[in-house]
């Protein structure tokens, strides 16, 4: 059924997409050897995925498949969308096994895949909730019941499984279900049903299935589901992205994961068909997201109510929703936008979201999670081992498992380096030449990136200069400083005839930046956040005993020092500074307003900031990203 060549484990296969600039690199071509990601990938394999398997078993999520196959006489367990958690776990295991064999994981995977296979109906339908007494309810409530959503996750899992293992048994299941769906939904003048899914996801999945199988009908089906939005099939609600036709959207609204998955699917569709109106909408929505609605962490979906985007500049800190899944969706969307364009602004958002908004969702050690991700707290927001609605844990697992696939891309001009970390890549240029790149770097803790090139001939090496390094980067080749180099949309284009062993040295400034917010973000007015490289920092109560973090003021001329602490939070660079606080005796008690204190009475306080992704892994206490700006005591 699939193409003739053996499949390669690429995340999003734009190699044949007409309207993309970049082609993917199989994640097996990239080998990470760094101190940041490599231990996380090991924990993923050794801790996260086995413990998630156990959760899936204990909560009946896998039993639901066994039951659907007729093998268990017990009620359906849990949420009606629980199949999707299993599919996301399958996807995570598949990507993981692509880079390193693991017999235990492989055994679990085969067990689950067999259960999925056995649960499929003769006609291709597959959803364990809509079995037995619920069969008649199939497709009766596309708005709420997530059948198309689960089908999308099945498809993504199947593609990952196929690309990673070369086996097509799960892909056959997904294809059969997709065919069933294509037979039911479509233009009414062809005797099919109108409609679209309340929770977008299947759009991305069907485009990728078209790419995998070469069958155009899945692309058409994805386009159909996109085009059906905004026509009242889902009650006309913004929550479900049904308030407007997609091409008429002017801002991000409604449930954040849904909205951003939809954008990712629309981006995939643009990659194949190049429709101008689609691109204009995506560009408009991207600007709205990043310039009006995104946390500095890269998280999106600020509003608790409806797990949704809010008004422009509505970015509460303590009450942030910022679901981990929405941050993952943001990575997925920006990856697709990057593939289309080769513009670093998309890689910037991807990197910010990945290091901060996504990684904060996974506890150190790999078996605790955050679902919501506030940017301030009083100690009442705690990591959990699992959630009843467990969308985030397996989602972060599949994102992390696929991470090596996000480091490089290819184009006819050469190789694109998006992300940096110690490691190597054995790449095949689009013309078939082989190149090895060896990155030596302490990134994200250190800004020096040395790339040893093993390959000959002329081609371009596109190295991303992150937005935060602005004009302060420096480049050298074979020890010689290069002052003139073409910079194209955030990438340095190093075009030359390479010799084996050529050394490219990019140095990015790893200084501490005090960041301020647009003044319309009311919660951040008069506050600053600390960033160093791609990492967002925060204060935690545990590092400031006896100090109310709300009372720490950071003068504008603060001098920061940094230090790497290998024993702290699995190894982090901390930021130290002298802040000030109001005089100790001057408590607020039952005051709501008071005259500003005389500065000379303020006191200094030693402040330590830790990476935001690592918060909530020690004693519960206050946390704060946005610190009050204060005055220096002279």
Q: How far is the CB of 528 from its own copies (least distance, A)?
A: 6
DSSP string, 443-476: TTT--EEEEEEE--EEEEEEEE--GGGTT--EEE
Q: What are phi and psi of 577, to 5 degrees?
A: -160, 165
| Closer to its own copies by Cβ: residue 17 or 352 | 352
3 state SS of 220? helix
| Closer to its own copies by Cβ: residue 425 or 521 | 521
Q: Are strands 552-555 and 527-532 parallel, antiparallel or unpaired?
A: unpaired
Q: How far is the CB of 349 from its own copies (least distance, A)?
A: 11
Q: How far is the CB of 558 from its own copies (least distance, A)?
A: 10
Q: How far is the CB of 430 from its own copies (least distance, A)?
A: 34
3 state SS of 412? coil
DSSP 438: E
The token duo for 236 is 């006309």
Residue ranges of alpha helices (H) inside 59-102 are 61-68, 83-99
Q: How far is the CB of 119 from its own copies (least distance, A)?
A: 45
**H/E element, 268:** helix 256-273
3 state SS of 415? strand
**H/E element, 552:** strand 552-555
| Closer to its own copies by Cβ: residue 296 or 609 | 296
Q: Are 32 and 423 in contact (CB under 8 A)?
A: yes
Contacts of residue 45, defined as CB under 8 A and 6 or more positions apart, other chains included, come to 96, 100, 102, 105
The token duo for 49 is 């995925």
| Closer to its own copies by Cβ: residue 385 or 599 | 599
| Closer to its own copies by Cβ: residue 478 or 556 | 556
The token duo for 497 is 């005839």
Q: Are 147 and 160 in contact (CB under 8 A)?
A: no
With 0-12 CB in 10 A as exposed, 13-18 as middle and 19+ as buried, what is 554? buried
DSSP 308: B
Question: Count of residues for the chain?
Answer: 634
Q: How far is the CB of 591 from its own copies (least distance, A)?
A: 7
| Closer to its own copies by Cβ: residue 509 or 571 | 509
| Closer to its own copies by Cβ: residue 454 or 513 | 513
DSSP 6: P
| Closer to its own copies by Cβ: residue 8 or 527 | 527
User: How far is the CA of 421 from the CAs of 120, 426, 447, 450, 509, in angstroms?
Assistant: 42, 15, 10, 10, 16
Look up tokens 């004693």; give the residue: 619
R_g of the chain, CA atoms, integer Å: 25
Q: How far is the CB of 241 from its own copies (least distance, A)?
A: 22
| Closer to its own copies by Cβ: residue 141 or 522 | 522
Angle between helix 392-401 and 49-58 (nearest 10): 150
Q: How far is the CB of 183 from its own copies (least distance, A)?
A: 44
| Closer to its own copies by Cβ: residue 384 or 513 | 513
Q: How far is the CB of 418 from its own copies (least distance, A)?
A: 21
Q: Are 270 and 340 in contact (CB under 8 A)?
A: yes
Q: What are phi and psi of 232, to 5 degrees?
A: 85, 0
Q: How far is the CB of 574 from its own copies (least distance, A)?
A: 20
Q: Distance (Å, rounded) from C-alpha 358 to C-alpha 362? A: 8
Q: What are phi and psi of 2, to 5 degrees?
A: -75, -175
Q: How far is the CB of 291 from its own copies (least distance, A)?
A: 4
* Buried-state track 91-124, b at ≥16 Cβ within 10 A, e below 16: bbbbbbbbbeebeebeebbeebbebbeebbbeeb
Binding residues for its own copies, rule: CB under 8 A, are 287, 290-292, 294, 296, 316-318, 513-529, 548, 550-551, 555-557, 588-596, 599, 626, 628-629, 631
Q: Are 221 and 152 in contact (CB under 8 A)?
A: no
DSSP 356: I
| Closer to its own copies by Cβ: residue 259 or 512 | 512
| Closer to its own copies by Cβ: residue 151 or 344 | 344
Q: How far is the CB of 588 from its own copies (least distance, A)?
A: 5
Q: How far is the CB of 131 from its own copies (least distance, A)?
A: 41
| Closer to its own copies by Cβ: residue 28 or 317 | 317
Q: How far is the CB of 155 from its own copies (least distance, A)?
A: 34
| Closer to its own copies by Cβ: residue 144 or 550 | 550
The token duo for 560 is 């920061």
Q: How far is the CB of 631 from its own copies (least distance, A)?
A: 5
| Closer to its own copies by Cβ: residue 394 or 621 | 621
Contacts of residue 352, defined as CB under 8 A and 6 or more positions apart, other chains included, come to 296, 297, 298, 534, 536
């Amino acid at each position: 059924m699939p193409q003739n060549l053996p499949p390669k484990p690429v995340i999003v296969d734009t190699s044949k997409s007409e309207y993309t600039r970049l082609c993917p690199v199989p994640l097996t071509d990239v080998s990470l050897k760094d101190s940041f990601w490599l231990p996380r990938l090991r924990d993923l394999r050794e801790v996260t995925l086995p413990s998630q398997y156990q959760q899936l078993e204990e909560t009946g999520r896998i039993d639901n498949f066994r039951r659907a196959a007729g093998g268990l006489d017990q009620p359906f367990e849990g949420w009606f969308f629980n199949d999707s958690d299993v599919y996301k776990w399958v996807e995570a295991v598949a990507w993981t096994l692509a880079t390193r064999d693991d017999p235990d994981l492989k055994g679990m995977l085969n067990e689950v895949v067999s259960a999925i296979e056995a649960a499929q109906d003769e006609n291709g339908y597959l959803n364990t909730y809509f079995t037995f007494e619920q069969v008649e309810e199939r497709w009766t409530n596309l708005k709420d019941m997530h059948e198309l959503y689960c089908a999308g996750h099945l498809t993504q899992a199947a593609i990952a499984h196929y690309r990673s293992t070369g086996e097509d048994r799960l892909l056959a299941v997904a294809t059969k279900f997709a065919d069933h769906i294509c037979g039911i939904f479509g233009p009414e003048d062809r005797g099919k049903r109108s409609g679209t899914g309340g929770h977008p996801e299947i759009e991305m999945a069907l485009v990728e299935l078209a790419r995998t199988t070469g069958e155009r009908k899945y692309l058409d089906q994805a386009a159909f589901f996109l085009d059906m939005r905004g026509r009242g099939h889902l009650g006309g609600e913004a929550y479900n992205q049904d308030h407007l036709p997609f091409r008429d959207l002017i801002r991000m609204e409604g449930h954040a994961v849904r909205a951003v998955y939809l954008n990712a699917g629309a981006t995939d569709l643009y990659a194949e068909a190049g429709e101008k109106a689609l691109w204009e909408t995506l560009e408009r929505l991207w600007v709205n997201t990043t310039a009006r609605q995104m946390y500095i962490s890269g998280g999106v979906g600020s509003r608790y109510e409806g797990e949704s985007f809010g008004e422009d500049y509505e970015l509460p800190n303590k009450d942030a929703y910022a679901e981990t899944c929405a941050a993952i969706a943001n990575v997925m969307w920006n990856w697709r936008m990057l593939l289309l364009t080769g513009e670093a602004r998309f890689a910037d958002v991807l990197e910010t979201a990945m290091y901060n908004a996504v990684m904060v969702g996974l506890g150190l050690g790999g078996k605790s999670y955050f679902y919501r991700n506030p940017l301030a707290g009083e100690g009442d927001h705690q990591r959990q081992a699992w959630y009843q609605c467990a969308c985030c844990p397996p989602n972060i697992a599949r994102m992390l498992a696929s991470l090596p696939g996000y480091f490089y891309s290819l184009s006819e001009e050469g190789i694109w380096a998006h992300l940096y970390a110690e490691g190597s890549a054995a790449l095949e240029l689009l013309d078939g030449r082989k190149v090895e790149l060896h990155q030596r770097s302490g990134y994200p803790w250190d800004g020096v990136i040395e790339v040893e090139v093993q390959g000959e001939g002329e081609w371009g090496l596109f190295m991303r200069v992150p937005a935060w390094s602005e004009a302060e980067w420096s480049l050298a080749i074979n020890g010689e400083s290069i002052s003139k180099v073409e910079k194209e949309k955030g990438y340095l284009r190093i075009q030359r005839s390479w010799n084996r062993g050529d050394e490219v040295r990019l140095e990015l400034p790893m200084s501490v930046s005090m960041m301020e917010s647009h003044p319309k973000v009311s919660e951040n007015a008069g506050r600053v956040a600390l960033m160093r490289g791609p990492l967002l920092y925060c204060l935690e109560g545990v590092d400031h005993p006896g100090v109310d973090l709300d009372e720490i003021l950071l003068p504008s001329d603060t001098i920061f020092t940094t230090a790497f602490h290998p024993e702290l939070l699995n190894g982090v660079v901390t930021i130290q500074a002298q802040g000030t606080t109001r005089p100790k005796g001057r408590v607020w008690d039952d005051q709501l307003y008071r005259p500003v204190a005389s500065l000379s009475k303020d006191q200094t306080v030693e402040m330590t900031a830790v990476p935001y992704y690592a918060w909530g892994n020690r004693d519960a206490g206050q946390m704060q990203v946005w610190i009050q700006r204060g005055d220096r005591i002279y």
